[in-house]
């Protein structure tokens, strides 16, 4: 199996409730390694660029408001099949549909305030990592 890197965000609903460590533990238990991490506070415009793919969706403005409301933790996760593995550990977008033991099942508040973001493919992971991290910050 291939070693991959993926991009992850611990969202404002989770940082606000002091869940950063509990969520990182879930990734580590799943065999994913945090190889870069920082806590930042996005502007609404920066959140809007990141979520540009959703700009036509009805929840776009609410999503950008939420993602810029409080600090987030952005991170790069590495491991075997990291993109899919991360999505498994995160669980379904809507916490009411998420499987037992997933981050969203345990911690998410709603479909919008759902605690974590994770890249959906290796090509989007590369773009998302490059939006937040320079090469020098990716120490492996
Ligand atoms: P993800 O890949 O599982 O994060 O899901 P999507 O790419 O479909 O959506 C991106 C993010 O937009 C989700 O994680 C939610 O934070 C938010 N979102 C998605 N659907 C809804 C919705 O119906 N209402 C609201 N308020 N937010 C949503």
Dump pLDDT digits (tens) for 69-108. Answer: 999 999 999 999 999 999 999 999 999 999 999 999 999 9
**Residue 117 known to be catalytic:** yes
Q: List the structure tokens of 106.
A: 């345990």
Question: Is the shortest distance between the CB of 11 and ligand 1 below 6 Å?
Answer: no
Task: Give the distance (Å) from ligand 1 centre to CA of residue 134.
Answer: 27
DSSP codes joined into one string, 27-78: HHHTT-EEEEEEEE---HHHHHHHTGGGTTSTTHHHHHHHHTTS-EEEEEEE
Tell me, what's the pLDDT at 97? 98
Q: Which of 85, 87, 104, 117 is catalytic?
A: 117
**What is the residue with the minimal CA distance to atom 3 of ligand 1?**
93
Tell me, what's the pLDDT at 140? 72
Task: Give the distance (Å) from ligand 1 centre to CA of residue 38.
Answer: 22
Residue 67 alpha carbon, nearest atom of ligand 1: 16
Tell me, what's the pLDDT at 139? 79
Dump pLDDT digits (tens) for 33-71. Answer: 999 999 999 999 999 999 999 999 999 999 999 999 999
Residue 53 alpha carbon, nearest atom of ligand 1: 7
The C-alpha angle with vertex 33 and arms to 119 and 99, in degrees rounded to 5, equals 55
Task: Give the distance (Å) from ligand 1 centre to CA of residue 112.
Answer: 6
Dump pLDDT digits (tens) for 120-140. Answer: 999 999 999 999 999 999 977
Tell me, what's the pLDDT at 118? 98
Residue 7's beta-bridge partner residues? 76
């Amino acid at each position: 199996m291939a070693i991959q890197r993926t991009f992850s965000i611990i969202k404002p609903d989770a940082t606000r409730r002091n869940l950063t460590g509990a969520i990182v533990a879930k990734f580590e238990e799943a065999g994913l390694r945090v190889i870069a991490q920082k806590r930042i506070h996005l502007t609404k415009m920066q959140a809007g660029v990141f979520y540009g793919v959703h700009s036509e969706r009805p929840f776009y403005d609410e999503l950008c408001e939420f993602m810029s409301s409080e600090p987030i933790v952005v991170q790069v996760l590495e491991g075997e099949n990291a993109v899919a593995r991360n999505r498994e550990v995160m669980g379904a977008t809507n916490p009411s549909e998420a499987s037992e033991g997933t981050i969203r099942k345990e911690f998410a508040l709603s479909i919008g305030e759902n605690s974590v973001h994770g890249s959906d493919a290796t090509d989007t992971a590369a773009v998302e990592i490059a939006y937040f991290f320079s090469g020098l910050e990716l120490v492996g």
